[in-house]
Structure formats: C-alpha cells, structure tokens
C-alpha cells in the first residue's frame, strides 16, 4: 500500500508491470524504476472575493532525477489527487525518455474547480501554489508547464512569483508561457499539432483518403488545436465534446467558428441547439480517427469493444484502461493505436525547445520550432513501429518499453548513491 494508491496510479503500475515482464526486469529493480523520487503536498490559502479564505490542497510529484531536471504540467481540476499526479509524473518519464529529452517526469496539481474562481482568485491561488513549491523546483531541478485547467496566464504568474523571490527574471522556470513573457512560438499549438501530424502520418500508411472523418473529445488546448489542424488538412470533424456539451454533424463541424465561440464563452455550450448530441455516445461513433483529448480512463473495456474508428490517437494522458488495452490488442488489425506517450508528446518536446531558448536567450522562428517538433515525433514513431514489429507487441508496450529501458539504463550506469 502506498500514499499514491487509487485508480489512476494503479493503472500506471499495471502498465509498468506489463513492460517490466516484457523486459524481464528483476523484481528488486522494479520499485527503484517505478516509485516516485519525491512528492510534495501543500496547503494554499486564498482570499476569496467575498472576504472569506479557502484552503486548497496542492501537489507536485517528481518521478526521477536520473537524466536531468524533472518536467511536467500542473493541473487545476476538482478530481486531482496525489495518486493521479504520481501516475501522470510516471507517464511523463516514459514519454520524455521515448522522445529523447534530458528530463525525468513530474506533474503537479491543485484540487480546485478553476471555472468557479474569479481571475483575481485564480491569480492568488497560482501565486501561492508556486510560492509553496519554490524550495522544490528550479530550472535545473523541476520545470513546470500547463496541463488541464491551467494556461499561459497561469504560467506567467508562476514565472513572475518565482522571479520575484529570486530577485531577477527566471523565464526558464516554467514553459508554456506567453510569447511576451519568454515563451516560444508554437508552444500553444504544439500538442494538438503533434497529434494531428501523427494522425496524418498513420492515415497515409493506412491509405485513408478522401472524406476522412474525426471525432474529438475535449475542446481545450489539445483537442481544439488538433481539431483545427485536421480541419485545415481537409478532414471532417464530425463530433466534438467538452465538459458542458457535445456536438455532432455528419457533414463536418465548422471548427474555426467553434473555436471563436469557445474563446468567447469558455466552452462549446450554446454553439448550436440543433447539433447537440449525447456526450457519452461520441466515442463510439463510426469515424476514421478518434481523439480522446480530455481526461484519463474514458476508454474502458466496454467502449473498446464498441469503438468504430480506424485510428485511436490518444491526445489525453491515460485515456485507455489496461482492460481496454487487452481488447485493443485483439483488435489491432482493425484499430491503429497511437499511444498517449507518443501521441501528445509534441507538447513536452516544444516545452523543451522553450527551456533551451530561455537558457540561451536565443529565440527561434515558429516554422523552425514545428519542423524540429515533427522531426522528433517522426523518429520516435519509427522507433515504436520498429520495436512493435520486432517484438510482436502492441504499440503502447513498444513505446513504453523504449522509455523504461532508457530510464533503467540511466539508473544502472549512475549506480546507487551512497
């Protein structure tokens, strides 16, 4: 029993066990690779607009520091707990190693519904959370980024708070900042663009042409940019959902108009009454590409049996349960899975570019950022496919095995201190 126990952490353990068995990792080595190096829980008291004070619980989990600083997003959501954050940190480690970044994984979060707060309250919470984390983070220790419920503005507050305590501007403490505060061109779009790039690549390989359709769950940073990229490539986005609503149009939704609506209203609710659809049913709509881009564990065994897509592109972290994976393994000739640690890795790849640019104070053009992002994704994709074919294993097992092997090798070479 660990403090992390819970459905999402248990899922990360189950996935790791599959990889550890595949790689024949001895039992006494497994915990050293899997269990987080460090986790921090803090209380964040915030002055509310009505004069009261609310205390929010915040977390940061740093999985391993073997290959460099840790790196990972910060999530503001009511469902956040230490186990979920730990699982997300572990997945970040395999992801960074798979794409060859000099980072271990980390993740942070605050248990809060950011939609229920005013901007002033959100700023207070963001600043307090960062201030509580100052002893544990740093540009060479742990670099934060956005995740669900946080955005460029929150990153600017994080950076400002850290910098005020240091006495100088430290842009390299977080990534996903606004360009006006040391961010990089192309970071806002990076995760969704990466998802779309890999989807197009798989569609080419599977010879899916003409009138292709996609369904996207989640219309935040990842989902909306993936949808827009695919829309711009001529793919019909027939259904979209978020926390508030779902929309379906078999002729294809007007994604630029939906983006404008979501930017103005904060969600897709109210876009159209005629196109409203059952949110629970969109995952099993017949389509060429399904992109879960919201939360974990939405594709369970039942949904996996009923999927009618040809490509499952995991924009979200951990959208597919291990039980669903067993079904997808049986259906691997019908459904091509692009596993999360590869599919959404464009975000951390461009975060890495942002960190490098901040450290060097030398900034790149956007097409340079995107060209290099796609180059890294293509290399990792080819490695995953090669490994899957060679070992006759599912894509997720192949991708995670490559990541776990690199972390394991790093730990083995450095040895155990003291």
Catalytic center residues? 107
C-beta of 241: minimal distance to ligand NAD in Å?
5
CA distances from 281 to 224, 239, 308, 311 (A): 19, 10, 11, 17
Question: Using CB under 6 A, which residues numbered 150 to 179 contact ligand NAD?
Answer: none
Comparing every residue's Cβ against ligand NAD, the nearest one is 220
CA distances from 27 to 32, 112, 396, 404 (A): 10, 38, 22, 15
- Of 217 and 408, which has the nearer Cβ to ligand NAD? 217
Tokens of 131: 């201030």
Question: Can residue 218 be called a binding residue for ligand NAD (CB under 6 A)?
Answer: yes
With CB under 6 A as the contact rule, the residue among 93, 241, 357, 370 that binds ligand NAD is: 241
Question: Can residue 83 be called a binding residue for ligand NAD (CB under 6 A)?
Answer: no
With CB under 6 A as the contact rule, the residue among 108, 146, 322, 339 that binds ligand NAD is: 146
Question: Can residue 220 be called a binding residue for ligand NAD (CB under 6 A)?
Answer: yes
> Strand order of the sheet with strand 311-313?
246-248, 236-241, 213-217, 289-292, 311-313, 336-338
Question: Can residue 94 be called a binding residue for ligand NAD (CB under 6 A)?
Answer: no
Within 233-272, residue ranges assigned H as helices are 255-265
Residue with tokens 């700023």: 123
- Of 20 and 125, which has the nearer Cβ to ligand NAD? 125
With CB under 6 A as the contact rule, the residue among 35, 179, 243, 269 that binds ligand NAD is: 243
List the helix and strand counts (H, then E) for the chain: 14, 11
Residue with tokens 């259906």: 331
* Site pattern 292..311 for ligand NAD (x: CB under 6 A): -xxx----------------
* Neighbouring-strand partners of residue 215: 239, 290
Residue with tokens 């897509």: 309
C-beta of 209: minimal distance to ligand NAD in Å?
28
- Of 20 and 246, which has the nearer Cβ to ligand NAD? 246
* Neighbouring-strand partners of residue 236: 213
Q: Cβ of 335: how many Cβ atoms within 10 Å?
A: 17
Question: Can residue 147 be called a binding residue for ligand NAD (CB under 6 A)?
Answer: yes
> Contact residues for ligand NAD (CB under 6 A)?
146-149, 191, 217-223, 241-243, 293-295, 315-317, 344, 347
């Amino acid at each position: 029993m660990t403090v992390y126990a819970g459905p999402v952490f248990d899922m990360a353990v189950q996935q790791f066990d599959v990889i550890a068995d595949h790689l024949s990792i001895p039992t006494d080595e497994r915990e050293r690779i899997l269990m987080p190096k460090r986790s921090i829980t803090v209380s964040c008291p915030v002055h509310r607009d009505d004069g009261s004070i609310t205390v929010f619980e915040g977390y940061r989990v740093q999985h391993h520091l073997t290959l460099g600083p840790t790196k990972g997003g910060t999530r503001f959501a009511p469902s956040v707990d230490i186990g979920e954050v730990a699982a997300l940190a572990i997945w970040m480690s395999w992801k960074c190693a798979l794409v060859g970044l000099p980072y271990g994984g980390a993740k942070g979060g605050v248990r809060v519904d950011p939609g229920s707060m005013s901007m002033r309250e959100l700023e207070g919470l963001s600043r307090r959370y960062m201030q509580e984390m100052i002893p544990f983070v740093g540009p060479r220790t742990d670099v934060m980024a956005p995740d669900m419920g946080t955005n460029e503005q929150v990153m600017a507050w994080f950076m400002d708070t850290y910098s005020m305590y240091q006495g100088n501007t430290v842009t390299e403490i977080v990534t996903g900042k606004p360009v006006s505060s040391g961010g990089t061109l192309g970071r806002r779009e990076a995760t969704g663009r990466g998802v779309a790039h890999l989807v197009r690549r798989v569609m080419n390989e599977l010879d899916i042409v003409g009138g292709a359709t996609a369904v996207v769950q989640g219309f935040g940073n990842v989902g909306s940019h993936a949808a827009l990229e695919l829309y711009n490539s001529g793919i019909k986005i027939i259904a979209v959902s978020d926390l508030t609503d779902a929309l379906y149009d078999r002729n294809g939704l007007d994604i630029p108009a939906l983006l404008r609506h979501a930017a103005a209203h904060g969600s897709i609710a109210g876009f159209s009454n005629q196109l409203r659809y059952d949110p629970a049913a969109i995952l099993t709509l017949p389509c060429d590409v399904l992109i879960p881009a919201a939360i974990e564990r939405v594709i369970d065994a039942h949904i996996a049996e009923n999927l009618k897509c040809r490509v499952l592109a995991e924009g979200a972290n951990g959208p597919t349960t291990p039980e669903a994976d067993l079904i997808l393994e049986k259906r691997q000739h019908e459904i091509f899975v692009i596993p999360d640690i590869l599919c959404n890795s464009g975000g951390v790849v461009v975060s890495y570019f942002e960190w490098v640019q901040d450290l060097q104070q030398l900034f790149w053009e956007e097409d340079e950022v995107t060209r290099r992002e796609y180059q890294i994704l293509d290399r990792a994709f080819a490695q995953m496919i090669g490994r899957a074919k060679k070992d006759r294993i599912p894509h997720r097992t192949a991708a995670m095995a490559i990541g776990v092997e690199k972390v394991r090798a790093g730990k083995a070479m450095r040895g155990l201190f003291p």
